[in-house]
Structure formats: C-alpha cells, structure tokens
A and B are shown apart, each in its own frame.
Chain A
C-alpha cells in the first residue's frame, strides 16, 4: 500500500515523511498533514485502502466536514499522532508528546462554544477518530451529570415531545431496565 501511494504524487516534507492531502466538504480548504496524523481516522484509512493505486495528488475529499471543523480536527490529530510514521506502528506507538501535556491540550481543546463542540463530535464520529470521539462525547456527557431531565433539556436546548403518559411509561421501564 505504501508503495502504491508513493507514486501518486502526494507531497513529502523536507524530512521525507509521507503526507496526505485532505480537502474539506466545500472544497475551500486543502490541508497537508503527516500520514501518521491522518491515519488516526479510520475513515481516512479506509478511503486510502480503497483508492489504492488510483489515488492521485488531488487529495481526499471529506464531504461531511467543513473547513473550520477540519482545521480543528487536524489540530487534534497532529498533536496526538504517533512519532513513527509507519502505518502499521501507528496504532501501537505512543504519541510523541508527554501524557500530561496531552491532557492539558485536551482540556483546552474542548473549551469551545456548543456549536463547535457539536461539529467536532459529529466529525469525530464520521471520521472515526477514537480519541477525539471519546474526548468530545465525554465532555457532553459530563454536562448532563447529576441533572434532572428538565435541567438537561434547558442546558442543551431540547424540547420534549413526551406526553405525560409516555413519561410515566418510561419511568416504569427504567425501574427494571438495568
């Protein structure tokens, strides 16, 4: 696989490391990233596998991710990418940065408005980036901790269409649904 992609014209950095070009949904932005960072996404990994020898220098278009979100996602990937760029080691190799450093980065990373957070969680789900999905979902889950249904609705701006009878039924179901 590595050999096939080499001849496709994907640019290389001066250090000779392989890079991959990712294009946002509206075609407005092209990002060149290290292969190790891009391969954190299972979706990108699969796309590359499927493209095989047909991959050209045009890069990979991600129809569900707009430019602003893609930039933020790649910021995460670049930080969390393993030091080694070999694709087989990408899963097993530890990231280049220290753990405490990464934790601090993660905490700051999710200090964004709800709109951005939602875009990130959707992008992480689509791109199948496990670390980012964990981080964003956990952030939203933490917002719900200890709240009543009414408080959750208020925090997240959800309207409930439950009728009182439906609510009672759910309450009863919860009693045995363990």
Chain B
C-alpha cells in the first residue's frame, strides 16, 4: 500500500479543490498564487517593491504583512548623502543619496533632487527615530522630512539658532531640536561661548542652555565629537580623547562628564545608541587602535557597552572585537613591502572611525576613507541575549555602492553617512522616480 500525504500542508490544497480549473490567465494566477506559495514569492521581492506588492490585492497585502512579520526589518538602513564639487553637471553642487537595505543586502540609489528645490549643502542631524539631513542658513534651519532627503516638503523650517554656528552637532530628541557647539568664534558676541547649547521646543523658538562641560569645550564642534541621540538625551564623546557627557533637553541639564577609557591604547572613539534594557538606556562605544606589529591585521576595532546614566561600562559586559577580516577591509594595510622607513610612518597616520546606529544596530566605517565600505553590527534583541556578555550579536560587511566611490573619488567629493529606518513607501518612491527618467 502506498503512502499518502499527512494532514499537514493542506491549506493550499483545500482551496485548490474549491476552485474551478480554468485555463484563462486571470484565474490561473488566482488558482495558484495565494497562501503559503504567495508568501514564499513575496519574501523574495526586494524591499523597494514591497510597497507596490502590498497594494495589488487583499491577498497580496496579507502575504506582505506575513512576510514582514516572519522577518521583521529591525535594522536601520545606511544612508549616504553625497555632495559633489561645484561644476559637476554645470551649476551648483551635485547632491544625491544612496540607501543600503540590510535585509536584502542591496544598495538603492536615490536620484538627485532637482537642484532648485533642495539646498546643496547639508549637515547631519542625529535622531533617535533616524538621522536626517538639514540645511543651516542665516534665515533658518530646514530639516528634511524623510531619511533619504528626497521628500519634497521639509518639516516646517525652524528659525536659525541665535548663535551663528559653522560646525554644530545637531540632534533631534523627541520633538526638540538641540544645537550644540560649533559656534563661529569670529562672530561671537562679547561673552559668547563657542560651546553654547540651544534647544528648540516644538512650536517655540530657541532657548539657550548651559554650555558644554569644560572637558568638551575645546572640541566643541561636529568634527571632533561623536554624537548619539536617543529618545531622551544627546550623548557626546570626544573622538580622540574619549571624554564624554550627555545632555537632557527636556530638563535642560547636563549629565556627568567622564573620560571613557576602557582601553588606554585606543586612539579614536565613536558612540551610538545601544540597547534599552528595562528603563535604562545604554550606549555602544566603539574604539579603534593600531594592533601590535606582529598581529595579523593592522587595526583592531572593539565595542563596549556603556550605561547611559553613569557613563560607566556595564559590569556584566565584556568587550567585543570586530572580526579581523572585517576591520582589515575597513582599514586596509598599505603595501609596505620592505621599506623599513615606512614603519614609523604607520604609527603617525591617525585612525578615525565613524559610527551611526540605533537601538537595533548600526554601521561602523572608516571616517577618513568612507569609500572602503562599512561594517554592519547588530545588537542583541531584548530578551534574546541569553547568557551572552557582549552587546554585539553579529557583524557583517557592507560593500561600498559603486556610485559612491565615483563621487568620492573626485576632489572635494564629500559624503555624510547617516542611519535611519526607511519606510517601504519612501524606498519605493525613491526607486520609482528613477524609473520615470
């Protein structure tokens, strides 16, 4: 006696028997493409097309929702905003963006916005809900509404901060925007402070707050500070020394100032929001240093988990090192065949890492050479870090998008790396616009 099917897998079969077989194309799809089968197909549809797929029919919407539930898109996208030099394409600076979707492992190019509609020189605004680009001018601060910087409208432009700033750290915490440091020393009024801090309340104007703590005062600019924004605070870490502090814009107060230095030989630091455990916010601190000369790879990148309130390393966590093959790709060793003189030069060349991320994960890159690529890190989900003492659950490589490398190769080509969750709709809009050209 032959063996026949068990009670499993009959969801599809039962439906099939109920339908009248028809050779017509329309009902052919209806006969086969639904339920488990449709879900399997939708799982393989790239992120940029999921928004369109969800609007095809009720059954497709159900399948897209099921696919998203099965593999939730936790990790934020890496968004690169590129600014080319003037003269490229005739006229103002060329600005375009690209987004890396970690779930599908693919880069999506966002077409350059029409030049007259958007400003050509933008800065980074860190936010817990995602980084944005913004444009600062004497008349105001305009913040892009979406992570790709393409949405036509901006959030209603804010007035310019009262202190004229050339290189501030901008952060969005809840409904407030915070401008820290970066004031132009030449333009300071008497008694003005280069490390001045202002908070813009929703619907209100800018209010001055206590300036940055002394330890950060000398480096009060975006070039020197690595910033991370969470739902409650802005955390600042000085890139070379490791001095850190945080600012709470709701209560307008600064937290403790500490020198973070779990490893004294680290030469460059970067910080990103970490997990939220219970009511505590944590940070992930990344540090890079040159390894011993005998070591396999030249640069070692490590990650520590730091408590948000006290800025001390969480006692249970141990440090986590990026796999050497990945840090090797970020900081490739120059070919120093046999010239002994070059060995001294090696130590003098300074390292610089950049970090951006949110509570689910983020990206680490070589700030001096962003075209090398990036490393994605994923943090443990709440409740899943069973017995693990490290913060980072997984490291992965992110290749550089080819278009980026071309822009960055030009002199004065400049890139801003940001990180934000990107909605399906915005991905679709961005890619779709390319198709209509």
Q: Which residues of A contact B (CB under 8 A)?
A: 23, 43, 46-48, 50-51, 54-56, 58-64, 114-115, 118-119, 121-122, 125-126, 133-134, 137-138, 140-141, 144-149, 152-153, 156-162, 166-167, 170-171, 173-178
Contacts and interface: CB of A to CB of B under 8 A. Distances in A.
7 A-B pairs with the lowest CB-CB distances in the bound complex, closest first: A118-B32, A157-B26, A141-B44, A149-B55, A174-B425, A61-B2, A157-B25
Nearest to A153: B56
A176 B25 contact: no
Contact of A158 (B29, B41, B425): B29
30 contacts: A23-B2, A43-B9, A56-B1, A58-B2, A63-B5, A64-B13, A119-B32, A126-B12, A137-B41, A138-B44, A140-B33, A141-B44, A146-B49, A147-B52, A149-B55, A152-B52, A153-B57, A157-B26, A157-B28, A158-B26, A158-B33, A158-B60, A159-B57, A161-B57, A170-B61, A174-B55, A174-B428, A177-B65, A177-B423, A178-B424
A134 B37 CA distance: 11
Interface string B11-38: 0110000000001011111111100110
B28 A118 contact: yes
A85 B40 CA distance: 29
Given A126-B9, A175-B425, A177-B424, A160 B45 contact: no
Interface in B86-139: none
B44 A137 contact: yes
Nearest to B65: A177
Given A156-B29, A174-B51, A175-B425, A47 B41 contact: no
B49 A174 contact: no
Given A176-B423, A178-B423, 19 more contacts: A23-B2, A56-B2, A114-B29, A118-B28, A118-B29, A118-B31, A118-B33, A126-B13, A137-B40, A138-B44, A140-B33, A144-B49, A152-B56, A156-B29, A157-B26, A157-B27, A161-B57, A161-B58, A173-B54
Among A23, A47, A122, the most chain B Cβ lie within 10 Å of the Cβ of A122
Nearest to A145: B49
Given A145-B49, A159-B26, A167 B55 contact: yes
Query: How extensive is the interface on chain B, given as a class?
Result: 35 or more
A161 B60 CA distance: 11
Among B9, B32, B55, B423, the most chain A Cβ lie within 10 Å of the Cβ of B55
Contact of A178 (B12, B61, B422, B435): B422
B328 interface: no
A140 B39 CA distance: 12
B3 A51 contact: yes
B53 to A, nearest CB: 6
A141 B5 CA distance: 29
Nearest to B26: A157
A178 B421 contact: yes
Contacts of A149: 52-53, 55-56
A2 B31 CA distance: 39
Given A149-B55, A162-B57, A60 B32 contact: no
Contacts of B431: 146
B153 interface: no
Describe A's contact surface by its main secondary structure.
helix
Among B42, B56, B432, the most chain A Cβ lie within 10 Å of the Cβ of B56
Contacts, number: 147
Contact of A145 (B37, B45, B426): B45
B316 interface: no
Contacts of A51: 3
Nearest to B130: A178
B44 A148 contact: no
Nearest to B68: A177
B57 A178 contact: no
A114 B24 CA distance: 11
B57 A122 contact: no
Contact of B40 (A58, A133, A173, A175): A133
A171 B29 contact: no
A148 B52 contact: yes
B383 interface: no
A158 B424 contact: no
Nearest to A30: B2
Among B31, B52, B422, B424, the most chain A Cβ lie within 10 Å of the Cβ of B52
Contacts of A137: 40-41, 43-44
Contact of B12 (A62, A122, A173): A122
Nearest to A151: B52
A138 B104 CA distance: 13
Given A43-B9, A64-B13, A152-B53, A158 B421 contact: no
Contacts of A170: 54-55, 61
Nearest to B13: A64
B252 interface: no
Given A122-B32, A125-B37, A177-B423, A59 B2 contact: yes
Contacts of B421: 178
Nearest to A168: B55
